[in-house]
């Protein structure tokens, strides 16, 4: 029996790509897999690393505000639609799976014109602009949060959670501590500011290092070109621009994580039952999705939310102490949260399509 063909799409941030990668790994033996993304986005680098055929198309940024670039981007999107349609006619996929991001709109419009079934997964509580446009063309829609279902047609929407890559759940605590050169006497805090890092978080953590390292050992994933070489020799502080293969082991050794509010990341930490301090992107930097994600997790008892405009050494240390003191209460609520395996659900839905 010949394999069916699927095209994945999604990009603009790692959060729109890593769930796709999780699904790709699970269905690779049963499906012919292709990926359509932007020509220069982070998705190109991530997908090429897993030896999956990648095709770049033109795409414009979707904005909610008036800007002359919007006019130019109309033509970029139209060009992307033509490029995507040409690719899909050659690939002849049986299914499109989209994780969101502005590059997905031309792919979905092209797929609809060719009558190709479309599955969409929305990670955040409120849909991004790409999925607000695309959902009406979707065959099935999957969401991470219960609250999101109200934004989509009920008859084709299913709440499943976030697809978690299996390797993130298979880390070794002992390997993580050995890799970091950390001892067993103090808990480990891992700080992750997103793929590009976060200037305010990085600065506040470094200002607070003396107090933090008195009781904790610190892993600081600070983003590209954000290392502080004056701090590289500190015995209780390890900094990295980015961590990939070793991340499961580091997280297995982690007691508390300080993170942005991206849905994919916080669902991974939830699956690992690591209590979180979430510092979401502010409204000045985003549409507010991370703020809503963070509040939802805080309301369910999985995390604390520290708004960036309230972030300083004093509040950071206060929140760390609070979450450490109550860590078992957080973990118990996280353990009780699981309703099913989102990754397996998606695999089953794709295989049965």
pLDDT in tens, 5-62: 999 999 887 778 989 999 999 999 999 999 999 988 889 989 999 999 999 998 766 5
Calculate the dihedral angle through the C-alpha atoms of 55, 265, 138, 61, rounding to the nearest 10 degrees.
Answer: -60
200 in the same domain as 149:
no
The stretches of the chain forming alpha helices (DSSP H) are 18-27, 42-48, 69-91, 104-113, 129-134, 173-180, 199-207, 209-215, 247-252, 263-271, 289-299, 313-325, 327-335, 342-351
Report pLDDT for 27.
96
What's the chain's average pLDDT?
A: 90
Provide the domain limits for residue 130: 4-159
**Mean pLDDT of all residues in 224-232:** 82
**Mean pLDDT of all residues in 168-184:** 94
148 in the same domain as 187:
no
51: domain CATH number is: 3.40.50.2000
224 in the same domain as 186:
yes
Assigned domain for 342 exists: no
Least confident of 39-48, 58-67, 344-353: 58-67
Query: Domain total for the chain?
Result: 2
As given in the structure block, the two tokens for residue 151 are 């934004």
pLDDT one-digit tens code per residue, 86-127: 999 999 999 999 998 889 999 999 999 999 999 999 999 999
Assigned domain for 127 exists: yes
pLDDT band at 72 (very low <50, low <70, confident <90, very high): low
pLDDT one-digit tens code per residue, 122-137: 999 999 888 999 999 9
pTM: 0.86
84 in the same domain as 14:
yes
Report pLDDT for 41.
83
198 in the same domain as 152:
no
44 in the same domain as 19:
yes
SS3 labels along 88-152: HHHHCCCEEEECCCCCHHHHHHHHHHCCCCEEEEECCCCCCHHHHHHHHHCCEEEECCHHHHHHC
Report pLDDT for 2.
81
Handedness of CA 105, 107, 108, 113 (dihedral sign): positive
137 in the same domain as 107:
yes
Count of other CB atoms within 10 angstroms of residue 103: 30
Report pLDDT for 75.
74
315 in the same domain as 186:
yes
191 in the same domain as 147:
no
CA distance 228 to 339: 42
């Amino acid at each position: 029996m010949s394999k069916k063909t699927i095209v994945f799409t999604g990009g603009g941030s790692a959060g729109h790509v890593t769930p796709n990668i999780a699904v790709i790994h699970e269905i690779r033996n049963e499906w012919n897999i292709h990926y359509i993304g932007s020509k220069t986005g982070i998705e190109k680098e991530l997908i090429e690393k897993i030896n999956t055929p990648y095709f770049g198309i033109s795409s414009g940024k979707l904005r909610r505000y008036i800007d002359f670039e919007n006019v130019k981007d109309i033509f970029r999107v139209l060009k992307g639609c033509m490029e995507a349609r040409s690719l899909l006619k050659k690939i002849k996929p049986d299914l499109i799976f989209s994780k969101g991001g502005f590059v997905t709109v031309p792919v979905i419009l092209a797929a609809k014109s060719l009558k190709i079934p479309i599955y969409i997964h929305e990670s955040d509580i409120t849909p991004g602009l790409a999925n607000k446009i695309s959902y009406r063309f979707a065959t099935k829609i999957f969401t991470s949060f219960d609250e999101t279902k109200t934004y989509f047609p009920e008859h084709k929407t299913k709440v499943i959670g976030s697809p978690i890559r299996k390797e993130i759940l298979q880390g070794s605590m002992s390997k993580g501590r050995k890799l970091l050169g950390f001892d067993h006497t103090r808990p480990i805090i891992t700080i992750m500011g997103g793929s590009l890092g976060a200037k305010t978080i990085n600065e506040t953590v470094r200002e607070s290092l003396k107090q933090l390292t008195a009781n904790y050992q610190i892993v600081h994933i600070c983003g590209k070109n954000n290392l502080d070489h004056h701090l590289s020799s500190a015995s209780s502080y390890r900094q990295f621009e980015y961590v990939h293969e070793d991340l499961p082991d580091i997280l297995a050794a982690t007691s508390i994580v300080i993170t942005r509010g991206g849905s994919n990341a916080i669902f991974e930490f939830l699956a690992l039952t690591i209590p979180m301090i979430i510092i979401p992107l502010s409204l000045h930097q985003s549409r507010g999705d991370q703020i809503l994600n963070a509040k939802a997790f805080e309301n369910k008892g999985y995390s604390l939310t520290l708004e960036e405009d309230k972030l300083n050494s004093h509040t950071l240390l206060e929140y760390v102490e609070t979450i450490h003191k109550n860590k078992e209460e957080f973990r118990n609520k996280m353990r009780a949260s699981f309703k099913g395996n989102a990754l397996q659900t998606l695999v089953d839905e794709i295989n049965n399509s």
